Amino acid sequence: MCAFIVANTATASPGLVPELRLHLATELTPLWRSTAAVLASEDMPPPFWAFAWAGGQGLARYILDHPEVVRGRRVFDFATGSGLVAIAAAKAGALHIGASELDPFAAQAARLNAALNAVTLEVALRDVVGEDLTGYDVVLAGDVFYERPLAEAGTRWFRELARRGATVLVGDPRRAYAPTSNVELLATYDVPTSREIEDDDLRPSNVLRVIG
């Protein structure tokens, strides 16, 4: 898995987060095709982990510019993908970083990317939606409102976590199913994106605090 990730990506920095280096797809089609070929038989998802999504980039930028949000705290990055938000939190001084993914390739890519940036992450390969995440003070999620079931379940859960006292921040490039109530807008960034995945060169991305 590690060899596949390294062979099908290049080391690059996301446009809004030049401090970090990640294994990323620099040309969409070859990776998508080769991944599909390799993974089709195993019924695996497309390589979301090979892109630094606009929501994740905005949230990572916010964390790096406001390190006090995570410094010395225990932080969980839900649906970590490439690990970019989790890595930003580690760089900003978080005490411990946990993360979750459903895609084993993403979990492995996040670990590789953490090593590339000289930080460590603990990635759980399971669905933690609905769990209390006991012991975590801050919950982060980059770009998770792109499909309705995940967005609805995620939003309900984020509110529960906020009610139990966690700081919950999400990065969202105005996806269709993003919550519009019980959120506080903290920042908006114009994120450089690829036309192949976002139909635009720049995408506004909001950083929202979820209110319980």
Comparison of 16 and 52: residue with beta carbon closer to ligand SAM:
52
Residue 33 beta carbon to ligand SAM: minimum distance, rounded to whole angstroms: 19
Residue 82 lies near ligand SAM (rule: CB under 6 A): yes
In the list 28, 129, 187, 211, the residue contacting ligand SAM (rule: CB under 6 A) is 129
Alpha carbons 188 and 171: distance in angstroms, whole number: 9
**Element spanning 149, H or E:** helix 148-163
Look-up: residue for tokens 């993360």? 99
Alpha carbons 200 and 206: distance in angstroms, whole number: 16
Alpha carbons 23 and 138: distance in angstroms, whole number: 26
Asked if 52 and 146 count as a contact pair (C-beta separation under 8 A), the reply is: no
Residue 143 lies near ligand SAM (rule: CB under 6 A): yes
* Closest C-alpha among 100, 86, 107, 99 to residue 5: 107
Q: Which of residues 99-118 bind ligand SAM (CB under 6 A)?
A: 100-103, 106
DSSP 8-state secondary structure symbol assigned to residue 178? -
- # chain residues binding ligand SAM, by CB under 6 A: 25
Residue 5 lies near ligand SAM (rule: CB under 6 A): no
| Choices 24-32, 90-98, 136-144, 199-207; region in contact with ligand SAM by CB under 6 A | 136-144
Residue 58 lies near ligand SAM (rule: CB under 6 A): no
Residue 183 beta carbon to ligand SAM: minimum distance, rounded to whole angstroms: 17
DSSP 8-state secondary structure symbol assigned to residue 93? T
Chain contacts with ligand SAM (rule: CB under 6 A): 45, 48-49, 52-53, 55-56, 79-82, 84-85, 100-103, 106, 127, 129, 142-144, 146, 150
